[in-house]
Amino acid sequence: MRGMDCPLPPPRSTGSSETTAATRRTRIKICGLTREADVDAAVEAGADAVGLVLWPRSARAVDAARAGELVRRLPPFVTPVLLFVNPAAHEVAAGFAAVPHALAQFHGDETPAQCEAAGRPYLRAARMAPGFDLLDFAARFASACGLLLDAHVDGYGGGGKVFDWSSIPPGVPCPVVLSGGLNPANVTDGVLRVRPWAVDVSSGVESSKGVKDAALMRRFCQAVREADERLAAAT
């Protein structure tokens, strides 16, 4: 069994030309939300998940109590995701006390044991540096619901940078979440080329750090739907 009652589905064939009815709709996560208006706009735009950054050093950081306030605005079937970077156990516990139904996302140097210690379904971020062995990483984090692929930059997070999508090997044995420098202008191409289970965006739909732009979020979601329609038409 993968990932402790993980809410994500079995893996799709990343890089394959095959697309089934069950996997045509690419899921959308909008991360780094800090304001009520942005949560509402993300939901209206069509986001399937919203990310709350519980890493104090981030420009988009919120604390656990604030995350709980923001998540209370979500309607059913929109998933909250709590992003941690090398957290202490009490920080993880505080996050889930405030948002009990959240999915975890570990974005630092956490080991498989540290990710599993939370006892929750989780995504594991993979920093796609040249020479990085994603298949070995996926084997190490076999308990993860999915792997979030981000650019490798100094520090943590992708820094709004796009990595080389051709470096993603075929046969990744779990759902792939494509991240790193996505925006309304390039996400259609990303979905068509990578065919991920989901896409993740933060800075690409912002007017400033931590402040989302409602029009950009709508355009991003529309661009993902355009890619899905093109994939469906090609089958």
Name the residues annotated as catalytic. Answer: 31, 150
Q: Where are the beta strands (DSSP E) in 25-129?
A: 27-31, 49-53, 79-84, 103-106, 122-128
Residue from 86, 88, 77 nearest 106 by CA: 86
DSSP-based three-state secondary structure for 91: helix
> Which are the contacts of 78, defined by CB distance < 8 A and separation ≥ 6?
43, 47, 48, 49, 50
Contact 34, 62 (CB under 8 A): yes
Contacts of 104 (CB under 8 A, 6+ apart): 81, 82, 84, 92, 95, 96, 115, 118, 120, 121, 122, 123
> Which residues 6+ apart lie within 8 Å of 4 measured at CB?
116, 119, 120, 121, 143
AA letter at 36? E
Contacts of 202 (CB under 8 A, 6+ apart): 30, 31, 32, 51, 60, 157, 160
